[in-house]
């Protein structure tokens, strides 16, 4: 009998070997990955990472634990890093995030649900050193330049971060070069981010919610230096490179204190609640449109001390206002709700007035303003006011303010006007027609008036509050007298 020899199918055999090899490699990778997820291996990796960073940074580094999850979840617990002066750079707390590991191979960092809890960070630049205390970290991980000249530039790494949550964060910033000394505490802050591109300065942040935030800022150098108006105008007219979209903002219990002893400028801001909802922010064309702006139960205090530097601040502020006007800003707010706020301003370079409304020393509370269709641009300021109240230390008390108000380049009007104080009531309308803003001040005699005053009364007390120089006039001898 002849033996039939079977021909060996080499392609099939090779394919089977390759398939088994690939399957083995895959199972090995899965095994290693699952092994990494076990607590003993993660503790081993934590010690190795800690040791590596200490040797790399030449400073003390402690990491309580590093954890990984199948979904890409990464966590760091009890992190401590010292700077080169043996002071704290970062310490404490928890850092959690969901990281897309596959994106790292395409030069992209995609982070979701980034959470930071109980973190303290200190950033400082103390003379004679002109570098920040974290510069050594950047230097340690900076890639060495190739000996051969490399004309090709690698693409910057893409950064994609969304859903940030901060809880009990303390920040200390000290900079001798700029003269800033700041401490900030963030109780809670959450934000959703659609776009975060620092290379093109494109930021799209749909929501920001912050609670219990405190900041104390002290500045040891002059706030501003004298500059010609032409430079301020040129700077203001330079289009902003940043593309910013903020969406809705909700702030509660925000306290900010600023002090500059050199410029003698002191500011205190306590925000009870602030809510805004964006309609359009276009910094390139100087347009900011909001659907809503609501501010309630807040206090603002500004004091300008009696120094030469303070006079420079006042002068530069006036110049900056004029420069920004030349830049052509356009603000619009569909709905304004301001309720029960307090405003205080003191300019110590001007003596207090013994009588009347003193605009260099304002102390107003119960400030409320409800308005629709607010506009402020190069040639117009206007709104439809539905409610307005306030009380000032001078004795002025506003019970009601309503009406359509417009101050434009060729006309000013008050329509459906109602102003009420405890002793006065003014209504109905007034309009002024003039050729230009300059004509209104320089050629006032040519201004055309159209007044309609109906069932109105004016108490002498209110007249004297805004024109105290009339106190010696016999017609004003009785502050309680009422003119109809």
CA dist 65 and 256 (Å) reads: 35
Does 464 lie in the same domain as 360?
Answer: no
Average pLDDT over residues 218-224: 81
CA dist 482 and 458 (Å) reads: 6
pLDDT at 145 exceeding the cut of 70:
no
Cα dist from 480 to 90, 309, 353, 358, 477, whole Å: 65, 43, 21, 21, 9
Question: Is residue 254 one of the residues assigned to a domain?
Answer: yes
Average pLDDT over residues 363-385: 95
Model confidence band, residue 263 (pLDDT cutoffs 50, 70, 90): confident
Does 203 lie in the same domain as 338?
Answer: yes
Domain that holds residue 424: 399-484
pLDDT the model gives residue 1: 43
CA dist 98 and 113 (Å) reads: 6
Tell me the Cα Rg of the chain: 33
pLDDT at 4 exceeding the cut of 60:
no
Rounded to 5°, the CA angle 260-263-267 comes to: 45
pTM equals 0.80
Q: Which of the listed ranges 145-154, 155-164, 402-411 does the model predict with the highest average pLDDT? A: 402-411
Model confidence band, residue 151 (pLDDT cutoffs 50, 70, 90): very low
Residues 331-359 pLDDT 10s: 999 999 999 999 999 999 899 998 899 99
CA dist 372 and 382 (Å) reads: 9
Does 270 lie in the same domain as 221?
Answer: yes
Model confidence band, residue 318 (pLDDT cutoffs 50, 70, 90): confident
Does 240 lie in the same domain as 321?
Answer: yes
Average pLDDT over residues 372-399: 95
Does 131 lie in the same domain as 253?
Answer: no
Which tokens hold the place of 24?
Answer: 């083995």
The reply to whether omega before 363 is within 30° of 0 (cis) is no
Cα of first residue to Cα of last residue in the chain, in angstroms, is 138
Question: Is residue 259 one of the residues assigned to a domain?
Answer: yes
pLDDT at 389 exceeding the cut of 50:
yes
Percentage of residues in the chain with pLDDT exceeding 90? Answer: 46
pLDDT the model gives residue 217: 94
Average pLDDT over residues 447-453: 93
pLDDT the model gives residue 464: 94
Question: Is residue 362 one of the residues assigned to a domain?
Answer: yes
In contact, 192 and 207? CB cutoff 8 Å: yes
Does 345 lie in the same domain as 226?
Answer: yes
Does 408 lie in the same domain as 323?
Answer: no
In three-state secondary structure terms, 330 is strand
pLDDT the model gives residue 148: 46
Residues 94-142 pLDDT 10s: 988 887 766 655 666 677 888 999 999 999 988 887 788 888 888 877 6
Does 55 lie in the same domain as 127?
Answer: yes
Does 442 lie in the same domain as 334?
Answer: no
Does residue 156 or residue 125 have the better pLDDT?
125
Q: How many domains does the chain have?
A: 3
Final residue belonging to a domain, choices 317, 346, 366: 366
Does 285 lie in the same domain as 334?
Answer: yes
Does 407 lie in the same domain as 303?
Answer: no
| Residue 219 φ/ψ, nearest 5 degrees | -120, 130
Percentage of residues in the chain with pLDDT exceeding 70? Answer: 84
CA dist 469 and 467 (Å) reads: 5
Does 413 lie in the same domain as 358?
Answer: no
pLDDT the model gives residue 158: 62
Final residue belonging to a domain, choices 366, 384, 413: 366
Average pLDDT over residues 470-476: 90
pLDDT the model gives residue 276: 96
CA 233 to chain centroid:
23
Does residue 223 or residue 348 have the better pLDDT?
348
């Amino acid at each position: 009998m002849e033996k039939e020899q079977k021909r060996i199918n080499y392609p099939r055999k090779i394919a089977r070997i390759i398939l088994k090899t690939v399957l083995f490699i895959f199972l090995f990778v899965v095994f290693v990955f699952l092994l990494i997820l076990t607590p003993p291996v993660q503790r081993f990796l934590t010690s190795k990472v800690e040791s590596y960073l200490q040797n790399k940074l030449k400073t003390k580094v402690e990491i309580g634990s590093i954890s990984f999850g199948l979904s890409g979840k990464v966590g760091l617990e009890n992190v401590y890093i010292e700077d080169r002066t043996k002071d704290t750079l970062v310490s404490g707390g928890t850092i959690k995030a969901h990281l897309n590991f596959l994106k790292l191979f395409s030069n992209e960092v995609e982070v979701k649900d980034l959470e930071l809890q109980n973190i303290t960070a200190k950033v400082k630049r103390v003379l004679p050193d002109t570098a920040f205390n974290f510069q050594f970290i950047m230097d340690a991980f900076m890639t060495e330049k190739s000996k051969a000249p490399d004309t090709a530039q690698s693409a910057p790494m893409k950064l994609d971060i969304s859903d940030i949550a901060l809880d009990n964060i303390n920040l200390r910033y000290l900079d001798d070069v700029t003269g800033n000394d700041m401490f900030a505490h963030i109780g809670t802050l959450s934000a959703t981010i659609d776009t975060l591109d620092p290379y093109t300065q494109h930021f799209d942040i749909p929501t920001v919610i912050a609670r219990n935030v405190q900041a104390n800022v002290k500045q040891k150098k002059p706030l501003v230096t004298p500059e010609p108006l032409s430079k301020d105008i040129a700077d203001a007219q330079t289009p902003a490179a940043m593309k910013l979209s903020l969406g809705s903002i909700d702030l509660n219990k925000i306290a900010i204190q600023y002090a500059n002893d050199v410029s003698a400028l002191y500011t205190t801001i306590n925000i009870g609640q602030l809510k805004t909802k964006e309609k359009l922010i276009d910094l390139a064309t100087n347009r900011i449109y909001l659907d809503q702006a609501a501010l309630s139960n807040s206090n603002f205090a500004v004091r300008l001390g009696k120094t030469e530097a303070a006079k420079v601040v006042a002068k530069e502020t006036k110049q900056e206002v004029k420069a920004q006007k030349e830049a052509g800003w356009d603000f619009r707010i569909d709905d304004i709700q301001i309720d029960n706020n307090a405003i205080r301003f003191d300019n110590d370079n001007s003596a207090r007035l013994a009588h009347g409304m003193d605009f260099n020393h304002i102390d107003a509370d119960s400030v409320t303003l409800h308005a629709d269709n607010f506009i402020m641009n190069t040639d117009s300021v206007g709104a439809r006011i539905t409610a307005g109240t306030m009380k000032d230390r001078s004795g002025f008390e506003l019970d009601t303010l309503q009406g359509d108000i417009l101050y434009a380049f060729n006309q000013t009007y008050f329509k459906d006007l109602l102003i009420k104080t405890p002793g006065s009531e003014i209504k109905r309308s007034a309009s002024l027609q003039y050729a230009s803003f300059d004509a209104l001040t320089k050629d006032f005699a040519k201004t055309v008036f159209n007044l309609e005053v109906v069932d109105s009364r004016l108490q002498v007390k209110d007249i004297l509050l805004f024109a105290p120089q009339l106190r010696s006039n016999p017609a004003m001898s009785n502050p309680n007298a009422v003119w109809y």
